[in-house]
């Protein structure tokens, strides 16, 4: 099959992947959803023309968004995941024995169902009895609760369409209220190469909203530029250091040393967000 999928990742930048097959495609209530089998990355989930996850590199993103905040918290019991209908974050959250509830709130039911069928290893956590799935608007859900979660994670698409509100100060303020004392909020916050203004703005908002703010990064090959940032706001300690006694589960990217190293920022990112001090 000599067919290719191409994502326009930024003006002047495209990523093309040769396909083995088109496994699924549909228009959901919210977005265009496609599943491809690619030559290099294996199966690939695409929403509105943007790569969400692939078999080959999904572990980097999912481990770093989940384990950095959870390992920074002394005892995470109740965890909320907004978005992330593929289930990768839920899978990683449930590796923590202290977790009693991993609650996924996803607006698009089709993402969950398609992921269960085509990405069973990524969606494996859905079968855990500690996992709960709610199909609803995550922004509205967070606005209506208070002090219910130890950790809140936002696994959103890019800041367009339904996901725009997940990058707004109003949402971060609501998320703070939904955290228990000492809680942690963490979100993916895009590329430091191509979303500089967004990353700068979110850092400034986190400074106002949370007790401590940290930016960290990881390398995700299929995301624009391959260099991806995460922003963490805490109501307690800064979260720079992982609890070594709790690192007993298997990972492919995350380690307690990478936890700390990911917060040592290159100068060009410090220019946007300031120092992690």
Q: What is the pLDDT of residue 1?
A: 66
Q: Which two tokens mark 134? A: 């709610």
Q: What is the pLDDT of residue 157?
A: 78
User: In sequence order, which residues have a C-beta less than 8 Å from that of residue 206 and are 6 or more positions away?
Assistant: 172, 213, 231, 233
Residues 39, 120: one domain?
A: no
CATH of the domain at 29: 2.30.140.10
Q: H-helix or E-strand containing 198?
A: helix 196-209
Q: Which of 57, 86, 155, 158 is catalytic?
A: 155
The yes-or-no answer on residue 150 being catalytic is: no
CATH of the domain at 245: 3.40.50.150
Q: With the C-alpha atoms ordered 16, 20, 22, 24, is the resulting torsion angle positive or negative?
A: negative
Residues 30, 115: one domain?
A: no
Residues 108, 154: one domain?
A: yes
Residues 46, 86: one domain?
A: no
Please tell me the total count of domains within the chain.
2
How many Å apart are CA 165 and CA 273, to the nearest integer?
21
User: 205-208: which pairs have CB atoms within 8 A and are 24 or more residues apart?
Assistant: 205/169, 205/172, 206/172, 206/231, 206/233, 207/274, 208/169
Residues 140, 30: one domain?
A: no
Residues 33, 115: one domain?
A: no
Asked if 112 and 82 count as a contact pair (C-beta separation under 8 A), the reply is: no
Does this model's pTM top 0.85? My answer is yes
Asked if 158 and 77 count as a contact pair (C-beta separation under 8 A), the reply is: no
Q: Which domain does 248 fall in, by range?
A: 58-273
Residues 10, 94: one domain?
A: no
Residues 87, 221: one domain?
A: yes
Residues 42, 175: one domain?
A: no
Asked if 274 and 214 count as a contact pair (C-beta separation under 8 A), the reply is: no
Residues 145, 132: one domain?
A: yes
Coil/strand/helix, residue 175: helix
Residues 24, 109: one domain?
A: no
* Mean pLDDT of successive 10-residue stretches along the chain, which has 277 residues: 92 96 97 98 97 98 98 96 97 97 98 98 98 97 96 88 84 97 97 96 96 97 96 93 83 96 96 91
């Amino acid at each position: 099959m000599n067919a290719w999928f191409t994502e326009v990742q930024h003006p002047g930048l495209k990523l093309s992947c040769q396909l083995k097959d088109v496994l699924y495609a549909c228009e959901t209530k919210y977005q265009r959803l496609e599943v491809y089998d690619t030559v290099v990355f294996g199966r690939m989930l695409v929403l509105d023309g943007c790569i969400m996850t692939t078999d080959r590199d999904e572990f980097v993103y999912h481990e770093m968004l989940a384990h950095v905040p959870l390992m920074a918290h002394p005892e995470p019991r109740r965890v909320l995941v907004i978005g992330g209908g593929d289930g990768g974050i839920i899978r990683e959250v449930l590796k923590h024995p202290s977790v009693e509830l991993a609650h996924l709130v996803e607006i698009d039911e089709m993402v969950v169902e398609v992921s269960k069928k085509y990405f069973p290893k990524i969606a494996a956590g859905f079968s855990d009895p500690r996992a709960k799935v709610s199909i609803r608007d995550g922004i509205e859900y967070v606005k209506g609760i208070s002090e219910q979660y130890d950790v809140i994670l936002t696994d959103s698409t890019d800041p367009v369409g339904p996901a725009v509100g997940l990058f707004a100060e109003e949402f971060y303020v609501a998320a703070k209220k939904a955290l228990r004392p000492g809680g942690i909020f963490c979100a993916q916050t895009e590329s430091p190469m191509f979303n500089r203004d967004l990353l700068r703005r979110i850092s400034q908002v986190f400074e106002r909203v949370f007790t401590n703010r940290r930016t960290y990064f990881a390398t995700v090959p299929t995301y624009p530029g391959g260099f991806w940032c995460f922003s963490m706001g805490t109501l307690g300690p800064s979260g720079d250091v992982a609890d070594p006694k709790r690192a007993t589960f298997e990972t492919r990217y995350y380690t307690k040393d990478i936890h700390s190293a990911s917060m040592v920022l290159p100068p060009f990112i410090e220019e946007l967000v300031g120092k992690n001090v």
